[in-house]
Chain A
Amino acid sequence: SQQGEEDPQALSIQEGENATMNCSYKTSINNLQWYRQNSGRGLVHLILIRSNEREKHSGRLRVTLDTSKKSSSLLITASRAADTASYFCATDAEDYGNNRLAFGKGNQVVVIP
């Protein structure tokens, strides 16, 4: 199955700074979704971006999608301590089908107060 893959970095930033994380994937997609997970709990849905969209915003979050490069980025602006979490991208691939999601490895983000 196809896998989204984030750059495997753990980010440690100061409160108020911006955090950027990336995700790459291998095949054509219907959409890409970003999730947040706090301390091994359930996943919180952040943003869905469709294959025909290039950028979406939600509050302090900005997601971009470049289908030619098969990559996406998530930007968190003006970070807060509460943004400390793991962030995952997940792709709904055209050939995977039926809304099944393939998840990337995840990025650990630590925001220092």
Chain B
Amino acid sequence: SAVISQKPSRDICQRGTSLTIQCQVDSQVTMMFWYRQQPGQSLTLIATANQGSEATYESGFVIDKFPISRPNLTFSTLTVSNMSPEDSSIYLCSVIAPRTDTQYFGPGTRLTVL
């Protein structure tokens, strides 16, 4: 398995500001993923972050709005830029555990934008 931590666990932010979410894994992993879960909804993949390359974004998500860093094999950040109330969601990172196809998720960051 993989143990994943995220910071912050929750935050309340003002419109127009940015928030950077950190994701730390207890083992080296090639692929890390960032998902968004809007209130009462299911999860939607934002992007895939591989170490040493640019993140790959899904349709509807752009780098200017959700810049991602992946400086090493155990860490990634997602920034939610120029926030609006529509960005209020839970943001979750996930990884594929080494030598498996199982995808494990972090505890999530609950973001509220006023």
A→B interface (CB under 8 Å): 1, 30-31, 33, 35, 40-45, 48, 50, 88, 90, 92, 98-106
Contacts and interface: CB of A to CB of B under 8 A. Distances in A.
Interface string B34-69: 000100011111001000000000110000000000
A88 B33 contact: no
Contacts, number: 62
Given A45-B103, A100-B33, A100-B48, A40 B43 contact: no
Contact of A40 (B42, B44, B90, B96): B90
Interface of B: 1, 31, 33, 37, 41-45, 48, 58-59, 90, 92, 94, 96, 100-108, 110
Contact of B110 (A33, A40, A48, A101): A40
B66 to A, nearest CB: 16
Closest A-B pairs by Cβ, 7 of them: A42-B107, A43-B105, A103-B43, A103-B42, A42-B108, A42-B105, A105-B42
Contact of B107 (A41, A45, A48, A103): A41
B110 A42 contact: no
Contacts of B1: 45
Contacts of B102: 33, 45, 48
A44 B106 CA distance: 9
Among A45, A102, A106, the one with the most B-chain Cβ atoms within 10 Å of its Cβ is A45
A31 B108 contact: no
A104 B96 contact: no
Nearest to B105: A43
A42 B103 contact: no
B92 A42 contact: yes
A106 B102 CA distance: 19
A99 B106 contact: no
B106 A33 contact: no
